[in-house]
Structure formats: structure tokens, C-alpha cells
Structure 1
């Protein structure tokens, strides 16, 4: 069969060609931040702010928004309408004076005197000329253009679709707009009183719908649209000087030469402010550029600034209940382009998938923490890095010998005197058949030479105590994260490859505590004096006693000599320099563990002479050893030592 495939434009749904979200890489970054002391919640927020390869983070998107906002303010000013009115007024006055100059009559001189006596303010002069009998046709047209300009700018600043509705404005058009404002204010007043305005809204839209191309479905939607524009106009007025605001207020009376327009708009603004008090009516934005904007353009610029502010708040995710799904992707694309919207969408998907994938869970106190699944992933990465740095290869810790108590290896060998392993029956019979055929004997007779036994390997079981220093010096010297990655790697190795071993993670600062892996990973560094190795060794001894059939293995990671010990009443006694009693109790506990046959390794971080001397003493008494790795090699040193100890 043959067929044809037709490919069309993709319209909606997940983009089939979008790159993968990179959950593994994201989790690795989260894990690093969490182990460095950040909470899972703050680590996730930091990841979203920073972004991922190929995806712009929230911080960069916010920076671009503020850059665009600063550009709007830096390049524009709000003098456009006033400047244009001044230019039209000056042109009208010049034309009128040229028309009066040749006339020798007293009326002409009186008219010139009237023009010379006009108020210095633009608004006062325009209002004073409302009833002036113009002799120049050009002057009359320029003056009428002032009125039309004011009306157009005022209407366009409040009604988004008014620019298309306004053409050559005549008296009938002005009457229609005045009637629309009157009907609109009655509708808004009724809605403010809580009346049902469904029928009145339908009648209003049927009569005046040409002014509202956005086609609101009900009064609420109409109020939303109008309030946003009205608030933008108010913010624009707030951004002007007091003189500019006063001039515009006075000039509004001359809109289309009909005071009903300015009065109607003022009433509408008051009603909208009552209905939508949550809109931003009081802020201001300084516009200091050279590009003059008219009232309509200024209102649009203020709306754009408001949209930029709203997007910045959405991207900040700092308000209660914030979600990345709250980001207005359409508005973001309009401001910064489609790539910005794609990045925001992918960050929202990443956050959603991290939660959906079971990588986070809620603790009993309501806080967010990494799930066991996430910890296993982090452990796998840590172990992979550690094994990759072991130049001597993976290293196996199994001791292999034939023994009845071992586990089958999958192979067999000839029986030797004293062997108690199970017979490999299939191979034994096969050997007998082949030998009988070679000798020509009738039938098959079993001989001791035919017997093969199943080869087994003995796997020793270990109880491992990893004691890690959690004092403040580990944080201050940059050893906090390597310590946690070491614990992760060892935990992953034991729980996935040597599951019969028992691992205890013990952190010791002023006190010592046995920690679950998640607790250690999320542990934050705290300013606390004391390195209580004595308490940690006590807990390690209890771990060994709970596993009497296992070989005890002690691994200690520390960067300081003991400065605290545990008193019989459970209190931690701190002293620096170390008290002789602290040192004596610590050494005594090491001796106790040595009597259990404990394999001891101490990983010394730093070059402190007193620490070096003390850990050398402990190693000699415990018949153990001291390793002094650099920070990058700490994990490899601990894992290699564990494998080496179990191999021997």
C-alpha cells in the first residue's frame, strides 16, 4: 500500500518539536543547591530564576522588562498634546494678526488689543477665544483643530476603539458621543448601586457598540476594559507637573467645543474609580525623553508601563500562592517577543513536571523536601562522578573463595576432598556420559572424577558508620558540599550494590545525630561551637552493636580536633583549646571500637598541625589509617577506602 502524508500548521497543544525539559539536569542543579544549604523550595526558585540551558530564566526576563520600561521613560515625554495645542494656537494668532494688520478700523485695533491681552497660559488663551469672531479663515480652522484635537485625544485615551470610530467630526458626531457618555454613566451608576444591568447593558451595546470593538460580554467586562484605560490616564496625569495637569483640566472644557464631553469623561472616571478601587490610580512614572506623546499615546504608554509592572510581579513569584502559570504569556510575547513567552512556558512546564514526577514531597510540618526518588537520582550522579575519578577502576570489595555458605557465581569446578558445596548435577552426569563413551564401557557409571560442584563466593557483611563533621568550619572553608556529595555517593553504593551492608550517617557538631540521607542533604550550616567526635563515636558503637554479625567499618570526615564531649547527663561540654578530658574520652571511645575489630579510616581536611597530630594518634591506636584528600577527591577517597577495606 502506498499513501500520502500531508503536513499542516501546528496550532495548539504541546509542541512536538520542542526540546526535552531536561529534568535530570534540573534535578542535578537542585541537588547541588540543596546540599549547599538551600531549602528545596528556595533551590527550585533559584533554578527558575537562573533558567536552564536554552531557556531564559525569570531573572533575565525581568531584567529585559525593566530595560524596556526604562527605555519608554527615557525616550518619551507627556507634552505632546500641550505642545501641539500651543503650536496651533500660535499659528492661529499669527494668521489672525496678519488679517487684522491691513485694516485701519478701530474694530481691528480693538481685536488686536484683545489678542494682546490673552492670558499667558495656553488653556486660558484657548478658553478666552471661545467666542472670538475670527477674521482669518486659516485662524478659524486652526482654532477648531485645537478643539477637535482635544476631543479626539480625550476620547481616544479612554476608549481603545475610538480612533477608528472618529473621522471627520461634526456636530452630530459630537452629540452622539455626548449621548453615549450620558448613557454609559447611567449604566455605570446603576451597576455601582448593585442593580441588575443585564438588559440595560444589552440596550447600550446595541446603541453604542461601534465605540467598543473589544465586544465586552457584560457590564463587568465593560467596566474592566474602561477602568484599565481610565487608570492609565490618571497615572499619566499624576506623572505631569501641576501646571500641565491644570492646563489639561481647563482645556478639556473645549473638547469638540462642547463642555458635555469633558464633564461626561470626568463623571465616568469617578464612577470607574468607585467600581475598581484595586486598579492603580495613584502611581506615577517620570517621562524624561524628547519624544512628545499625546494624551492617547501617553495613556497607551502608561498602560504599557502598567503591563510591564504586572509582568515583573508575575515573574518575581513573590506574592502568596504564586505560580508560573499566572504569567500572561500573550502580554509577555507582546513586550519581549515569542522567545520570552516560550521560555516562560517551558519554565512553568519544568516546575510542573518536577512536582508531578514525584521529586518533591511535603513533610509533616508542611515544608517542601526532596523525595526518595530525587535522592536516589542525586546519589547516582554523585557515585558516577566518584567512580569516574577513581583511576584504579571501579574496585570490587568481594572476597571470593569456595564455601558452602556463599552465593552461586554461575560456574562450577571439579570436586575436591573436603568440599561441601552442592553438586552441579547436569555437569556431573554430562562428564560421566562423555567418559563412558571414551572408554567404550556399557552403560553409564558415575565416578568421583565426574563430580563437579557449584562454585560460590562468600560475601562479607559490613556495618558502616560514616561520621561527618557538621561544625561551622566545614561551611566556612567550603567543605560543606563535598561532604554531602561524599555521603550521597557512599549511600548510593551501599544501597544499590552491597545491600546486605548497613550504613549509618552520623553528623557531629556540638552534638552528634544519626541522620537519614534526606536530613543530611537538607542540613543547613549553623553557627555552633563544638566538634563532638566523642558523641559521634558513641553512636557509631551503638550501630555496630545492633549489627553483631557484620564487620564494623568506621569512616570519619573532619577538619578540626575534638572540642566537645558528651557528659553522662547528655549535655555537651565545649572547650577551646580542647580540654584534656575531651581528648581522653574521644581516645577511650576509639579504643573501645578497636576492641570490636573495627576497620577505621580518618579523612583529614586541612593542614592544621594539632588536628594532624591528633588523628595520627587515633589511627595508631585503632590500627587504622589517615587519608588527607583535597576537596575534589574526598568522595573518591572515602568510596575507594570502603571498597579497599571490604576487598581485604
Structure 2
């Protein structure tokens, strides 16, 4: 962005007076950035809408599928689901139990080895006590709480069991506690007990509705080292703790009943002090009461080989919950869902930077489609494609048609110099009898050039140039498109609509003087605008009433009697319905003589109007082929049998051909 007398490139130097300095633009979006390209998105939306999908659902499908170089929500969700499955497939939750069993076996083996070396009744009695220990790990650990170990290695292994249970229990609820409490001293354990007591007191006061602002500040000043999340108030503290506590509960729910009972029993020996289990149980109860909306009852099925400890298991449960939350956000299936709902930081943490970029671009695309007014609300409250969107779809459809016509000879309109035409952009010297307006600038220039050559006359007839005009052909075009169920069933629905879009866009931008009417015909026929045709849904209704369509086409041609009449018919079936004088549509298959007679009578009417009639026959029905051949002979028209990919090109090319003729 250019700015006068601004600091030069941020260096602090002032440019000379009257000079400009250029630097980075900071005030909002870059004004020179290219506009967001929504053409590919519009094509996808238009295709879905033309297939009968509602605009809102079409937008949702676009977000799900993404674009050619852009991952959609389905791709991101698939990756999330795969990560979830991998997490559960590779890990299991009994790591703490397994480690404690190994430590217990190590302690018992070392103790028995020491006792075997002693020749005393006390040693034999101790051996009997060890042999009589309960089979469960928790029962054995609790039974040995007051045992006087003879072997130092055994005593140390047992203490490691108590420390491990305490660290794992804390790590389930407080981030990083397992590492922080490694080699913890009795003083460290006492400080944790004090923190838990103060925390429970704070939550109880908050639960009673007391103002805990000052109490919270004192608590964080005293125990803030245990909370790396750095909450700013009691509510934020509760949120952080409740998420981890709920994850810990889900982890416990995921264990077998036997494993769960073992861990609950081992909690009593955490740090060799039952108060820890009491305080944690009190904390969990308060958090569950304060945040009942957290998932306290869920569970996950882990079946891998990698054993996780209680803290790791709780974090795995948190990760699963985050993946589930992201999956719901990406599904966009809840009321009022928007792309802005997606937690981009969590998505990046789960799937990487590129996933965040993809989600951001989808959100930008959704926002841009709304900002550019792709949809509008109709009189009935339903969303429809806006005129701007229809123009863009028509432009896209015509672009495809032009691409398929690129190898053909170009079409040009009839030109003739004369009056009552449109300016061609060229001029020519005036001749006797010309009535076109003068080109003033060219005339005066000719006069000046002549005077520069020595001729003093102010103006001469030879100086005069007139604006050359061309008389353009004006056409009245009736495009009759078959909307019977067979067009939907055989995949001809969208090509038919895209053909109408392309022709409409060509007429509205290149031949604005032409009068185009789109007529649909199934059991009945009706004139529709482009928006109605684009959003038209295929319905199961028997009948191909070409008779009614040609009636409406004839009325359109007579309303524009000064224009060259053109009738284009796109159909995939012979006529099976006709209109009675009372307006009732009669259907019969095979078609009755009355239906054929009524239809051919209207073909004769179109022929008497000297209309150029072309039938575009879709499919290879022999009965249809015989009928359209008869139509062509009676009307002097043409029959074209394009494939679906070439339908648009065939219709547009024939329209240009008919105009030139």
C-alpha cells in the first residue's frame, strides 16, 4: 500500500517531501490479494442442487467432500477415526497392575531367598505367612503393609509399589505428577496431602455459592506449581480438573471388574498413607457433582500389547474424548453447526499442521460462499441459488460447452451495414443516402489533417465519417426439456440442466436481444425460469407430454413474431401424454393414436410459424427414433442424437446455426 510521507520500510527515516514509501499493509485483508476462487465450489454445489439436493445439504456435502486439491471433512474424520483405532489397537490399560505384580514378585522372591538362608522358627513362620498371602495383587500388597521385611531389596521393591500407586493416582488427575513425585520424600507427600485438602476445601466453598476469589488466589499462590494449566479462577480450575477426573473414571470403567477391584484396593496403599485415597475420592465426588455434563460413564476398548499406567491411561482417555469431540465437530451434523466450531488447535495437535490448514480453508470457503451471496431465501423461506450463483453456474456450463466446440468452425452472426442496427465499432466515409450518425472525433480529425496539408476549408463532405452498424438477427427460442422420470433414472437429469444453463448464459450475455423461454414437460408442461429448473427435483410421474410443451412453445413464438423462431426439444422418450381441451392430461403407454395425432398437429403449427425445429434424441429407443424422424420430415427440422457429454455443445451449436440461418 502506498502512503505519503510514511516511515521508509520501518527504518525510522522520513522520505523526502512529495515522495512515497511502500510497506506491508496491516489494516485488514490485503486489498491487492486475488479474490477467493469459488468456481470449483460453485460447480460442485450446482451439480448437487441440480440433482435434487437442497442448497443447505449441498453446502454440507461440499464441506464433507472437499475440492480437487483440498481435503474435506470426511478425509479429516477418517484420519481421526484411524488414530482412535490405532490408539486402542496398540495399547492396553493394565500397565500399572502389571508393574505392581512384577514388583511384588520381585519383593517376595528376594524375601524368600533371605528366609531360606536362616535356620530359625521365625524364618519358617514368615515363610508360612508369605505362602498364605491372598492370590489377588491388591490383597497381598495390603496384607504386607505391616510386614517387617528382612531383605533390603524386598523392602525397597515394596516401597516402590506404594510410591508407584501414589504417583499413578496423582498423575491421573494432575498433569506431570508421576515425574514430579519420583523419589518423593515424606515431606513431598505431606505437601501433596496439604494441597489436596486445601483444594477440596476450596471446591466445597465454591459449591456452597461463596465468593472464592480471594481463597483461589491464596490457593494458587501456595500450590500453583501443581497446576501448569494456570487457571485464572475457580471455574477454570474445576473445568481442568473435571476433564482429567472424568478421563480417570472412564479408564477405570474400561478395565475388567477384577482389574478395577485390584486397583481400587491398591489405592489404599498409595504412599503408604490411606489419606491420599480418601482425599482423591472426595475430590472426584465434588467434581462429578459440579460438572455432571462430563462423560463419567463412558469407556474404551483397548486390546493392544503396550501396557499403559493409570496416568497414561487417563491421558489416553482424554485423547479419545478429544478425538470424539473433533469427530463430532467435523461431522457438522448437529443443529446450527458451522465450520468455525472446529477446534483448530486440537485438530493440529491430533493430525498435524496440514489438517489445520485444510479446515481453515474450508471455513474460509464457507464464509466466502455466504459473503458472495450464493444462496438466497425464497418467499416460502427455503434456500435457493441466487441469481448471481445461477450466472456463475451458467458461465461454467458454457465454458465447458465452448471447450467441446473448440475444434469446430466458429459461428458468426449475420452482418449487414445499414440503418437501425447496432454499432460494430468501425467507421467508414459517408456516402450519398447514408443516414447513420457521424463519428464526430474521426470527422474533426480528418478536417485537421486536411488543413495541415494546406487546405483552409473548415469542413468538407470528404471529412465526414459515419458509424458503421450491423443488423443483428433476433431470435425467439423455446427450449423444451423432458423432465419425465426416465431422465432421472438414466442419468440425464444434470446434463439436461447444465445444457439449459449454458444456453441461458449465452443468450443473456452474448445475444441479449433474443427471447429465450425454458419449458419443462412431464405429465404436464410449464414455462419455468432458470432458478426453478435448477432446483427442480425429479419425481416419479408417468408421462411425456410433448404436445403441451409445443403448445407453450408456439405461444412464445407468436408473442415475439418479429424474431426468428427457434424450437429446441431435448427428450429421451416418445410422447405418451397429451392435453385435452379441458386441460386434463391423458397418459397411455404405448402411446395412443390420439396422443400422436395431437402432438404432430402441434408440430405442424410450429412448422407453419416457419420455426427451425431441432429434436435432441437421448438414448437409443427405436420407437423414439421412428417418431422423431417423422417429426423432422413434417417440420423440415433436424434430429441430433448426441451423447450426454456432448448434449450442451450440440444444443448451443444448433442454436447458433439456427440464428445464422
Map of 1:181 onto structure 2 = 196
Question: Contact 1:387–1:394 (CA<8 Å) still a contact in 2?
Answer: no
Task: Describe how 1:627-642 pairs up with structure 2 within 5 A.
Answer: 627-642=640-655
Instruction: Report the CA distance between 1:446 and its aligned residue.
Output: 7.6
Map of 2:20 onto structure 1 = none
1:108 is aligned to 2:123: yes
Map of 2:390 onto structure 1 = 375
Map of 1:532 onto structure 2 = 545
Question: Contact 2:564–2:659 (CA<8 Å) still a contact in 1?
Answer: no
Map of 2:620 onto structure 1 = 607
Could you list the per-position Cα deviations for residues 472-496 of structure 1 after superposition, in whole angstroms to 9, with x for gaps in the alignment? Answer: 2112222222211211111011101
Match of 1:79 among 94, 108, 113: 94
1:258 is aligned to 2:265: no
Q: Which stretch has the larger CA shift, 196-205 or 501-510?
A: 196-205
Map of 1:646 onto structure 2 = 659
CA gap of 1:379–1:441, structure 2 versus 1, over 3 A, is closer
Match of 1:469 among 482, 500, 513: 482
Distance 2:24 2:353 in 1: 17
1:361 is aligned to 2:372: no
Could you say what the CA RMSD is over the residues aligned between the two structures, in angstroms?
3.3
Question: Contact 2:52–2:536 (CA<8 Å) still a contact in 1?
Answer: yes
Map of 2:580 onto structure 1 = 567
Match of 1:99 among 114, 118, 123: 114
Map of 2:408 onto structure 1 = 392
Question: Contact 1:158–1:226 (CA<8 Å) still a contact in 2?
Answer: yes
Distance 2:644 2:573 in 1: 15
Distance 1:445 1:305 in 2: 90
Map of 1:499 onto structure 2 = 512
Instruction: Report the CA distance between 1:645 and its aligned residue.
Output: 1.1
Map of 1:232 onto structure 2 = 247
1:329 is aligned to 2:350: no
Distance 1:124 1:12 in 2: 69
Secondary structure at the residue paired with 1:600? strand
Q: Give the unaligned 5+ runs of structure 1.
A: none
Distance 2:38 2:613 in 1: 39
Question: Contact 1:464–1:504 (CA<8 Å) still a contact in 2?
Answer: yes
Question: Contact 2:473–2:660 (CA<8 Å) still a contact in 1?
Answer: no
Secondary structure at the residue paired with 1:412? strand
Instruction: Report the CA distance between 1:195 and its aligned residue.
Output: 3.4
Question: Contact 2:575–2:596 (CA<8 Å) still a contact in 1?
Answer: yes
Match of 2:431 among 412, 415, 434: 415
Map of 1:517 onto structure 2 = 530
Q: Which stretch has the larger CA shift, 113-122 or 559-568?
A: 559-568
Question: Contact 1:180–1:208 (CA<8 Å) still a contact in 2?
Answer: yes
Map of 1:303 onto structure 2 = 318
Question: Contact 2:111–2:154 (CA<8 Å) still a contact in 1?
Answer: yes
Instruction: Report the CA distance between 1:61 and its aligned residue.
Output: 1.2
Secondary structure at the residue paired with 1:37? coil
TM-score (norm 1): 0.91
Could you list the per-position Cα deviations for residues 426-477 of structure 1 after superposition, in whole angstroms to 9, with x for gaps in the alignment? Answer: 8899999999999x99979988x99876543222322211011111211222
Instruction: Report the CA distance between 1:3 and its aligned residue.
Output: 7.4
Match of 1:130 among 114, 130, 145: 145
CA gap of 1:493–1:443, structure 2 versus 1, over 3 A, is closer
Distance 1:19 1:444 in 2: 52
Distance 2:589 2:633 in 1: 24
Task: Describe how 1:387-466 pairs up with structure 2 within 5 A.
Answer: 387-390=402-405, 391-397=407-413, 399-409=414-424, 410-412=426-428, 415=431, 455-466=468-479
Map of 1:542 onto structure 2 = 555
Could you list the per-position Cα deviations for residues 228-261 of structure 1 after superposition, in whole angstroms to 9, with x for gaps in the alignment? Answer: 1011111111111110001011111111111111
Task: Describe how 1:213-228 pairs up with structure 2 within 5 A.
Answer: 213-228=228-243
Could you list the per-position Cα deviations for residues 315-348 of structure 1 after superposition, in whole angstroms to 9, with x for gaps in the alignment? Answer: 1111111111111111111111111111111111
Match of 1:621 among 634, 637, 640: 634
Distance 2:145 2:32 in 1: 65
Distance 1:64 1:5 in 2: 44
Q: Aligned pair count?
A: 643
Secondary structure at the residue paired with 1:139? helix
Distance 1:341 1:211 in 2: 31
1:192 is aligned to 2:188: no
